Amino acid sequence: MKYTHLTEKERYTISILRKQGLRTAGIARLLNRHKSTIYREIERNKRYNKYFDRYSYQPEYA
């Protein structure tokens, strides 16, 4: 299987689905990606959100 980068559209889709409460495995199924790919993407691009006092995925940093 050849590796392809996540597209900008996929990154924003991940953000929307996370806000809707979907877990990593569910997002991976919808995007037809491996769940570890989604997990790594979220871990790499999370930032502290002072408004919600927690870390959240930020697709614009990816």
- With a CB cutoff of 8 Å and minimum separation 6, the contacts of 58 are 15, 45, 46, 47
Which of 17, 12, 20, 43 is CA-nearest to residue 28? 17
Q: How confident is the model at residue 40 (pLDDT cuts 50, 70, 90)?
A: very high
- What confidence score (pLDDT) does residue 45 get? 94
The predicted-structure confidence for 6-38, as pLDDT tens digits, reads as follows 999 999 999 999 999 999 999 999 999 999 999
pTM, two decimals, is 0.87
- What confidence score (pLDDT) does residue 4 get? 84
Q: How far apart are CA 7 and CA 24, in angstroms?
A: 17
